Homo-oligomer: A and B are copies of this chain.
Amino acid sequence: MTNDTITNSERNGVDTATLFATLDAVRGAPAAAQFQFRAHNEWVTGTHSRSTISDFFGVGEERAHEQEFVFDADHPAVLVGKDNGPTPVEFVLHALASCLTAGIANIAAARKVELTEVRSTVSGDIDLNGILGLQDVRNGYQNVSVKFVVKGDAPEHVMREIVEQSRNRSAVYDVITNGVPVEIDVEVG
């Protein structure tokens, strides 16, 4: 019985019992869902900088990831950098892909659908005349395209509904499509 319960609870690597328990807990104490995420960045040289991601706030207290994550960003040579990391705009695409994919896994698990594969390519078109200040075009992506391949044990329309529900509940999709106010403070040392 215990083994059955464990087996039934885990699907797609998602512990659905914990997922539903978390939902119930937040339903009873909505303030637990107030989170603040952070990245600490330090300029290295040229277009090369490095971010550390570790501390965050959630469920009422300061927390930290189990390890500190460190990421470099840079420009390739063709954009006058040294290619020590992806460009900042490429990290946006990774964020979108990983957010939608995590949602697909959770939602499929909650709907008792076993996934066997989820792959995506996210691409963004950008006219660098904007950031170069040469033409009056926007600085950022003009459009972003996500192409998913999903495989699992549900009919096609159910698989499509799962992706659609992930879009409906994706934090990064919301940020990218709807925008967020950004405040910048500067201390000159």
Contact = CB atoms under 8 A, between A and B. Distances in A.
Given A78-B59, A132-B23, A119 B41 contact: yes
A126 B23 CA distance: 16
Residue of A47, A91, A100 with highest tally of chain B CB at under 10 A: A91
Nearest to A178: B179
Given A36-B123, A177-B179, A178-B140, A188 B47 contact: no
B177 A176 contact: no
Contacts of A141: 171, 175, 180
A1 interface: no
A86 B171 contact: no
A112 interface: no
B140 A175 contact: yes
Given A13-B48, A118-B43, A119-B41, A138 B178 contact: yes
